[in-house]
A = this chain, B = another copy of it.
Amino acid sequence: MRNTAVLLVVCPDRKGLVAAIANFLLRHNANILHADQHQDSAAGLFLMRVEWDLDGFELGLHRFDEAFGPVAAEYGMRWNLSLSSVRPRLAIFVSKYDHCLADLLYRHHAGELYCEIPLIVSNHPDTHWLAEAYKVPFQHIQVSKDNKPDAEARQLAMLDAHHVDFIVLARYMQVLSPDFIGHYPNRIINIHHSFLPAFHGAKPYQRAFERGVKLIGATSHYVTEVLDDGPIIEQDVTRITHRDDLEDLVQKGADLEKVVLSRAVKWHIDNRILVYGNKTVVFD
């Protein structure tokens, strides 16, 4: 495992930004491993991701804020520092469909997702066995129209108790309240089973089938207050034919959902995603 730091920066574009950051890092003897930047010329923004080796880095990270503060202030930067050695803590929300859950748990077991998973939350007991197979704590919290505020309060308390950093909705079939979402801005990742903005809302496979499209898709995005409208992280599609009935679409789609969701989760963990406006930059 690498012992590196990742700095994400967004600020108004102007001259000298790359040099300012590179010099700050060099001053503290950083060995830059990756540096990638992007200008959104329409928005007038500069966005950067830089990763450096902490081996030999001469600035204590507890003092990073203080040391980098003046640079950030001068250029009006919004920034975020993360350490590759610190595993963020993920809670997975799931209902009855278990393919995304099984996929995430396997990838975590295989070392593809460098995070902790202290908690699975479900409004159904069906996936308990999977949680057990992978030895992850499982909480069954029933949700109905009537008890939703209570249920969310219980969920939030658990997330808090487990120091959860971000949430993945792995085909969780309940709409979260704006209040809940507000606790985890740009930290709740959803998978929607269509190529957004096509077929947002309910029953996307059935509507795709009825419209006679030739490809079906899946979209992972951050959750905002507007349903299926948050910043898109990743999308992919697969070809279907007239031979595929609705059940085939569901099955082919499941494979898409797994891949599109797991990429988003991995990129979030690796601090590759910068959200600005309602869009994302995913640094590769």
Give me the interface of A with B, judged by CB distance under 8 Å: 15-19, 22-23, 25-26, 29-42, 98-99, 102-103, 106, 110, 112, 129, 133, 195-199, 211-215, 217, 231-237, 241-243, 245, 251, 254-255, 259, 277-282, 284
| Sample of 23 A–B contacts (CB below 8 Å) | A18-B35, A19-B25, A22-B22, A34-B37, A35-B35, A36-B36, A36-B37, A38-B242, A99-B110, A102-B106, A103-B106, A106-B106, A195-B198, A195-B237, A197-B213, A212-B232, A212-B280, A213-B235, A214-B234, A214-B235, A237-B237, A242-B279, A242-B280
4 A-B pairs with least C-beta separation: A212-B279, A133-B133, A198-B198, A19-B22
Q: List, in ascending order, chain B residues with CB within 8 A of A281's CB.
A: 242
Query: CA A214 – CA B133 in complex, angstroms?
Result: 35
B232 touches A214 (CB 8 A): yes
Do A197 and B214 touch across chains, with their CB atoms under 8 A apart?
no
- Chain B residues whose CB sits within 8 angstroms of the CB of A41 once the complex forms: 245
Q: Shortest distance in angstroms between A250's beta carbon and chain B's nearest beta carbon? A: 10
**Measured CA separation A284–B39 after assembly (Å):** 13
A213 touches B237 (CB 8 A): no
The smallest beta-carbon distance between A143 and chain B, in angstroms, is: 24
Residue in A30, A112, A198 whose Cβ sees the most chain B Cβ within 10 Å: A198
A22 & B15 in contact (Cβ 8 Å cutoff): no
CB distance from A1 to the nearest CB of B (A): 12
Cβ-neighbour of A232 out of B31, B213, B234 (below 8 A): B213
Query: Given B23, B103, B133, B212, which contacts A278 in the complex, CB threshold below 8 Å?
Result: B212
Interface centre among A15, A34, A235, A282 (most CB of B within 10 A): A15
Rounded to whole angstroms, the CA-CA distance of A19 and B233 in the bound complex is: 31
Q: Which residues of B contact A196 (CB under 8 A)?
A: 198, 211, 213
